[in-house]
Amino acid sequence: MHIYTLSFLLVFLPVSALIYYAVPPHYRVFTLFLVSLYFYASISPLGLLVMLASVGADYLMAKPLFLWGKRDRRATALLLLAAAKNILLFVVLSSWSQLRDTEMPIGVVVYAFTSLGYLVDLYNGEADLAASFYEYGLFCCFFGKLYVGPILAYSDFSRQLREFRPSLTRVGGGVVLLLHGLAKKVILADALEVLTRQLREIPYLDKTVLSVWLLIICSIFQIYYTLSGYSDMARGIGGIFGLELPENFHYPLQAESVTDFFSRFNISANRFVRKYVYGALGAEDNGPLATTLNIMLITMLMGLWYGIRLNYLVWGASLGVFIVAETIWGDRFFTKVPVLVRRCYTLVVIIVSFAWYSSLSLSQGLFYLQTMFGLRTWELLRGLGGGGTYAMLWSGESLYLLSQNWLLLAACVLGGTNILHGNAQRLQHRFPRAMEGVSLLVNTLLFIGSLAFLVA
């Protein structure tokens, strides 16, 4: 039972919300914690035991860290042990899933690093001790955010529990966010997954410049709409239960620099790495060489955030090269370039870098890059004596797939910008009543369409 299934949307979520609001207020945190455990158990009972063991161990470490304080060597050793345990858990489960060619248990990266961030804050005196295990467990394992986050600071989460004020406005906003995230996942991302698979299945010798560019662009859209869809659903589910979760993806594909893209793509993970790794390394205060090394380390760690694979490491490093250049020379050169040029440059860099992210091996990533820039075409032309130029640039199969899916791709391009959202806000300001009706109609159609895709 995942958050994009009919059983979740039509049974589990409404029943859980009814129980949550029916119980006395002082039992709601405990109730929501039990709901989260039941949800995880429905997906993976073994994964639930691993999650409870990991979070429970961190909870037991929290009190000694709080009592000993930052200057105590025992606290430092205990924090290092907690960090090693959480990082090792992620590395082992990610590697194991790759070796067995299975999906990694959901939520590992979220609850492991949420818990680790809390322990670091506790060690630094920036957080209070959790009131109870079930409150701490809910903070780490709230079922809505297990897929991709967002990762929260304990102070922000606990404050909401203390100042809990549910309202129909927040619940209604949560439902809308849930619908938008669901539509991203089941209408756009799932359709893109099919198209991406069709493009991958084109034999290597038949792959052309157009087919590989299409493959990488579709992979980017699939990844973006999957992750941002999960994130919007998490925020929506949080809103239904009276919790406010931060935005995790903010139109990264219209970023004006690679640095800007990184700050918009998986925002909470980026903040986590910047705070707990980049800040600890001295950020940009130690000269160009230290800045370069720190940025490259951070971008490579962000690549590994999505799995322990060499391709992800190279993806992060390839973006890191551009971020280093923008950080060191950006004020002198980059800011003087027109916005449109900066956006085009950023988009090209993102697409090219995702040749590494989307590939299954370094050799495949190199093959994609060679094909995208026509290097294979040139080599083949030398062998063909100049014949078959067009066949190397595009093929009937790639043109057919493009003609059959142009509407999907157009919707993805439009949805990846803030054009619709910005214009809707302006119209809402000028014609509030009319836009309420339009919003209701659009959200109803999204709900019906999403259910139709789920049933199909």
155 and 240 fall within a common domain: no
Among the residue ranges 18-32, 144-158, 210-224, 321-335, the one predicted with the least confidence is 321-335
Position 389 in a domain: yes
212 and 77 fall within a common domain: no
94 and 177 fall within a common domain: no
30 and 103 fall within a common domain: yes
Under the banding of pLDDT at 50, 70 and 90, the label for residue 376 is low
192 and 75 fall within a common domain: no
Among the residue ranges 213-222, 232-241, 266-275, 374-383, the one predicted with the least confidence is 374-383
26 and 135 fall within a common domain: yes
Extract the tokens encoding 327.
């950080």
Backbone phi, psi, residue 204, to 5°: -55, -45
Position 300 in a domain: no
Last residue of a domain, one of 102, 136, 164: 164
Position 340 in a domain: no
Under the banding of pLDDT at 50, 70 and 90, the label for residue 160 is confident
Range of the domain at 47: 6-164
The segment with the largest mean pLDDT, out of 159-163, 280-284, 363-367, is: 363-367
Position 282 in a domain: no
What is this structure's pTM? 0.91
210 and 232 fall within a common domain: yes
At residue 281, the pLDDT reads: 60
Task: Go through the chain and tell me how many residues it has.
Answer: 456
61 and 206 fall within a common domain: no
103 and 178 fall within a common domain: no
Position 312 in a domain: no
135 and 182 fall within a common domain: no
Under the banding of pLDDT at 50, 70 and 90, the label for residue 336 is confident
Under the banding of pLDDT at 50, 70 and 90, the label for residue 110 is very high
**Among 374, 350, 389, residue whose Cα is nearest residue 212:** 374
pLDDT digits (tens, 9 = 90+) for 80-106: 999 999 999 999 988 888 888 787 888
144 and 177 fall within a common domain: no
Range 275-283, long-range pairs (CB < 8 A, 24+ positions): 275/117, 276/116, 276/117, 276/120, 277/301
Last residue of a domain, one of 129, 164, 199: 164
CA angle, residues 218, 220, 224, in degrees to nearest 5: 115
Among the residue ranges 39-53, 278-292, 422-436, the one predicted with the least confidence is 278-292
pLDDT digits (tens, 9 = 90+) for 120-157: 999 988 888 998 999 999 999 999 999 988 998 898 88
For the chain, what percent of residues have pLDDT higher than 90? 52
Euclidean distance between CA atoms 352 and 188, whole angstroms: 22
Say if residues 121 and 54 touch (Cβ distance below 8 Å).
no
Residue 420 has pLDDT above 90, yes or no: no
Last residue of a domain, one of 102, 137, 164: 164
Residue 340 has pLDDT above 80, yes or no: yes
Under the banding of pLDDT at 50, 70 and 90, the label for residue 379 is low
At residue 410, the pLDDT reads: 93
Residues near 302 by beta carbon (within 8 Å), at least 6 away in sequence: 262, 266, 269, 270, 273, 316
Position 141 in a domain: yes
Euclidean distance between CA atoms 339 and 49, whole angstroms: 50
156 and 183 fall within a common domain: no
Backbone phi, psi, residue 450, to 5°: -65, -45
Euclidean distance between CA atoms 6 and 455, whole angstroms: 8
Extract the tokens encoding 403.
């003609």
Euclidean distance between CA atoms 151 and 139, whole angstroms: 9
Position 55 in a domain: yes
Q: In which residue are the tokens 């001790």 written?
A: 129
Structurally, the chain folds into a number of domains equal to: 2
**What is the average pLDDT score of the chain?**
88
Residues near 169 by beta carbon (within 8 Å), at least 6 away in sequence: none
pLDDT digits (tens, 9 = 90+) for 194-222: 999 999 998 887 888 999 999 999 999 99
At residue 34, the pLDDT reads: 95
Euclidean distance between CA atoms 32 and 242, whole angstroms: 11
CA angle, residues 375, 377, 380, in degrees to nearest 5: 110
In terms of phi and psi (left: phi > 0; alpha: psi -120 to 50; beta: otherwise), the region of 51 is: alpha
Report the chain's terminal Cα–Cα distance, integer Å. Answer: 17
Query: What does the DSSP 8-state code read for residue 143?
Result: G
Position 84 in a domain: yes
